[in-house]
Amino acid sequence: MGVEGIGASVLRKEDRRFITGRGRYVDDMTVPGMKYAAFVRSPHAHARIKGIDAAAAKAMPGVIDVLEGSQLKADGIGNLICGWAVNSKDGSPMKMGAWPALAFETVRHVGQAVAVVVADTKAQARDAAEAVEIDYEVLPAVVEGPAALQDGAPQLHPEAPGNLVFDWEIGDAKATEEAFGRAAHVTKLDIVNNRLVPNPMEPRAALGVYDPAEEHYTVWTTSQNPHVARLVMSAFYNVAPEHKLRVIAPDVGGGFGSKIYIYPEEIVCLWASRKTGVPVKWTSDRTEAFLTDAHGRDHTTHVEAAFDADNKIIGMKVDTVANLGAYMSLFSSATPTYLYATLLSGQYDIPAIYANVKAVYTNTVPVDAYRGAGRPEATYVVERTMETAARELGVSPAELRRKNFIRSFPHQTPVIMCYDAGDFEASLDAGMKAADVSGFEGRRAEAQSRGKLRGLGMSCYIEACGIAPSKAVGSLGAGVGLWESAEVRVNPVGTIEILTGSHSHGQGHETTFAQLVSERFGLPVDNVQVIHGDTDKVQFGMGTYGSRSGAVGMSAIVKALDKVEAKAKKIAAHLLEAAEGDIVIENGEVKVAGTDRKLGWHEVALNAYTGHKLPDGMEPGLKEGAFYDPQNFTFPAGCYICEVEVDPDTGKTEIVQFVAADDFGRVINPLIVHGQVHGGLAQGIGQALLEGTRYDESGQLITASYMDYAMPRAWDLPMFTVSTTETLSPSNPLGMKGCGEAGAIGSPPAVINAITDAIGNNDLTMPATPEKVWRAIHAA
C-alpha cells in the first residue's frame, strides 16, 4: 500500500470546508427571486377534509399564493408510490393506498401536508399557513401495528381491507414444524422493536426552480440518491420530464435512510415554482422532521427456537407484525421482508426456518429503511433468542453460539441468502479477548461490593450489504436495478476526476474513492476530485444506502480504472516502443519494467489529448466509464460485547465498555471505517437505552422534538473499542463487505442482553429507560 492507498488512514479531503463553515447544504442555497414555502399540516391523525378556506391567508402580507391538493391532482401530479412489489402468501399483490403529495380528501397521520403557502419571507409563509382554515371531520385512529389488525379497528385505506398491506411468508413451514416436533428444548420470546426517528442533524430541504423559457426544472434537495429522485419524480409523479429535470444533492447533513425517499415537499416545491413563477424553497424545522421523515423499525414479533438435546438449534419460527404507518414509503415493503426475514438464520446453521410477516397501515408517520433496515430487527430477534436460550439451557452464551456457528462457505440458508464467506469464530474470539470476558466475573463481584449490578451481553450479527444483484432483486419485486456507475476522467495534465453515482452525506467518499486512484497509479489523493450528487454532471447512478457505496460503488470505479489503466499502458507502450505487457504504473510514473525508460503519468495523459503520438486507430482522450452489477450480496458480520453497570436504586444503566469486532472484508480507510462503526453504535445504543417514539391513543406524536425524544448525548456513551478482522468477500473485486450499518445492527441486542444479565430479569423492552429497568429489577 502507498501512503494514501488502500488501507491508509488518510485524513478526509472534504473536512476543510466543513470545519471552516464552507459546507454548502440545501438551505444555504439562494437563487435570484427566491421565495419561501410553508406547509399547512394536519393536526389530526385521521380525518376527512370537508373544506379549505385560504382567503384570509392569501390576503396576508407577502403571500404569493396558497396551493391545495385538488390543484395538484388537476395538474396531473401522481401519487407517491412504493417501488418494491411484495406479494402475500396467497399470491395477491400488496395493497397500496393512494398517497397524494397534498391531501385533498383524507388525512391519515398528524403532520400530513394539506396545502402550501408561498410568500416573500419564511416568516410570512409560516404566519399565513396558520391562517389557512381547514374544516376536518375527525375519524377514529389506530397507532399500534397489532391493534390495526383487530376486528373493528379504524380502517385507513379502501384498497386495504383490515389495514393489511400484505401477509407474506418465507421458509419451509412443514420442515420447521417437524423440527419443533423433535425438539428437546424450545425458547420463546415476545419482542418489540421500537419505532425510531432517524434524525440526521440537517433537516430535509428543497429548493425548486422552474425556468419557463426552457421549460426546465431544477431542484436542490437533501437526497441520498438524486438520480433515483429524478427518475421517480418524472416517471411516476409526472413532475417534469427526466431530461428537463436536474436534481442536485449538494452537501447533505446525514441521511441514515431517511433521505432515500422522495417526499411530498420536493414534489410540491417544483410544482409550486411552476404555478407561481418564482423559485420556491422549503426547509423543514425539527418538529416537521419528526412528523414527516420516514420512521424506522416498529416490529412486534413472536419467535420460537427449537434445540436438540445437544443444544444444536434445529428450527426457528417467527411471526412479525410490521407497522408501515399511514402510507407505503418508497422501499417500505422490502424492509420488513427481504431485508429482514432473509437474515433470520444469523450466524447459525439452522436447517429449518419459517417466518410470517404481516404489514399493516396505522395512523402514524410512514416507516421505511433506517440505518440497517430490517437487519437490526432480524439481529435483535436472533441474538435475544440465542442469549435467552443459553440462560435457559444453563450454558455459556458464547459457547452456545460457537456450537451453532456456520463454519463452511458458501452456506445456503433456508431463507434465500447464500453466505459467501466469513469467519464467525474469529470475530467472537477477537471480541471476547478485547472485552476481557474471562475477567468479567471478577468485575461483577467488585461492582456488587459497591452495590452495583454488572452485566455482560453479546451479539453475533450478520447482515447483507452490497445491495444488490439486479436480477436477484428484480425477481423479488424491486422496481429498479441496484448496480452502480462510475466514470474516471483523466485530464490532459494528469489530474483525475471520478464521477460516481454514489452519494456522500458523511461517509467520506471524496477521500476513500480517491484512495483507489492513489493505490492504482501512485498519484496523491489531492490530484483526484470526486464528483457526485448532480444529475447534470454525473451519469445515472443508484445512490448511497444499505452500505453499498464500497462494495458496489467502488467496484464500478475499479472497473473504470481497469479500462483507464489498460488504455494508458497502450499509449505508453507506443511512446516507449515497448511491449504493452512490460508497462507498469507506479508512483505517478509509467515505466518499462526492468529498464530505466519511463514517462510521467501527466505525459501519457497529455499525449492522450494531443493525439500526436497515439497508436494507429486509437481514439484520443483518456476517460472511461463502467457499470457494476454485483454478483451476490456481501455479508459483514461480527461480535459485539457490551458491559453495563446498573444502579438498582435508580435503574440507570451505564455502559462501562463496548467492544466491536467486525469483519468488513477489505478496509480502505480504517479511520473512516472506525468512525462509521462509532456512529452506528451510538444509534444502536440510542435505540436500546434512549429512543422511544410515542403516540398517544388519538395519534398525536408526543415525542416530536428534542425535548421529548431522547437523542444520544456525549454523556450517554463510552469510548468504544473497535477492531476488524478481514475475510475478503469473493463477490467483488476489492473484497469489500460494507461498514455503514453494522454498528446499528449489532449493538441493540448486546445492550439488552447485558442489562438483563445484570438485573436477572429477561423481561425488558427497548428503550430500557431507568424507569423500565427499575421496574424490571423490582419485578424479578
Partner 1 sequence: MTDVSMTVNGRQVTGSVEDRTLLVQFLRDNLGLTGTHVGCDTSQCGACVVHLDGQAVKSCTLLAVQASGSSVTTIEGLAPSATELHPMQAAFRENHGLQCGYCTPGMIMTAVDMVARHGADLDEKTVRDELDGNICRCTGYHNIVKAILSVAQSMQGSGEGQRIAAE
Return residues touching partner 1 (CB under 8 A): 11-12, 14-25, 27-28, 123, 199-203, 251-254, 256, 285-287, 505-508, 671-672, 674-675, 678-683, 705-707, 711-715, 717, 719-720, 743
Is the CB of 266 or the CB of 510 nearer to partner 1?
510
| CB of 494 vs partner 1, minimal distance in Å | 25
Please, which residues bridge with residue 219 across strands? 208, 247
424-to-52, 632, 638, 640 alpha-carbon distances in Å: 60, 19, 7, 12
Residue 380 contacts residue 748 (beta carbons within 8 Å):
yes
- Round to whole Å and give the CA distance between 376 and 686: 13
Please state the φ and ψ torsions of residue 317, each to the nearest 5 degrees.
-130, 140
Is the CB of 18 or the CB of 593 nearer to partner 1?
18
Burial grade of 60 (CB within 10 A; 0-12, 13-18, 19 or more): middle
Is the CB of 23 or the CB of 733 nearer to partner 1?
23
| CB of 743 vs partner 1, minimal distance in Å | 8
Is the CB of 192 or the CB of 671 nearer to partner 1?
671
- Round to whole Å and give the CA distance between 123 and 113: 18
Q: For 720-771, give the DSSP string.
A: EEEEEE----TTSTT-B---SSHHHHHHHHHHHHHHHHHHT-----SS--HH
| CB of 683 vs partner 1, minimal distance in Å | 7
Is the CB of 43 or the CB of 254 nearer to partner 1?
254
Buried b (16+ CB within 10 A) or exposed e, 454-465: bbbbbbbbbbbb
- Round to whole Å and give the CA distance between 524 and 514: 8
Is the CB of 672 or the CB of 689 nearer to partner 1?
672
Residue with cell 401495528: 145
Is the CB of 504 or the CB of 607 nearer to partner 1?
504
Burial grade of 771 (CB within 10 A; 0-12, 13-18, 19 or more): exposed
Please state the φ and ψ torsions of residue 564, each to the nearest 5 degrees.
-65, -45
Please give the grid coordinates belonging to residue 479. 422496481
| CB of 314 vs partner 1, minimal distance in Å | 38
Q: How many CA atoms lie within 13 A of 26 on its CB side?
A: 32
SS3 call for 190? strand
- Round to whole Å and give the CA distance between 485 and 500: 6
Residue 567 contacts residue 624 (beta carbons within 8 Å):
yes
SS3 call for 413? coil
Nearest partner of 520 among 736, 739, 725, 734, judged by Cα? 734
| CB of 687 vs partner 1, minimal distance in Å | 13
Beta strand residue intervals within 225-342, DSSP E:
245-248, 280-283, 299-307, 313-323
Is the CB of 22 or the CB of 537 nearer to partner 1?
22
| CB of 504 vs partner 1, minimal distance in Å | 9
| CB of 125 vs partner 1, minimal distance in Å | 14
| CB of 638 vs partner 1, minimal distance in Å | 16
SS3 call for 598? strand
Is the CB of 239 or the CB of 252 nearer to partner 1?
252
| CB of 16 vs partner 1, minimal distance in Å | 7
| CB of 753 vs partner 1, minimal distance in Å | 20
Query: How many CB atoms lie under 10 A from the CB of residue 391?
Result: 18
| CB of 347 vs partner 1, minimal distance in Å | 24
Helices (H), 293-418: 375-393, 397-404
Is the CB of 20 or the CB of 475 nearer to partner 1?
20
SS3 call for 164? strand
- Round to whole Å and give the CA distance between 131 and 668: 54
Is the CB of 72 or the CB of 642 nearer to partner 1?
642
Length of the chain (residues): 780
| CB of 642 vs partner 1, minimal distance in Å | 14
Is the CB of 22 or the CB of 433 nearer to partner 1?
22
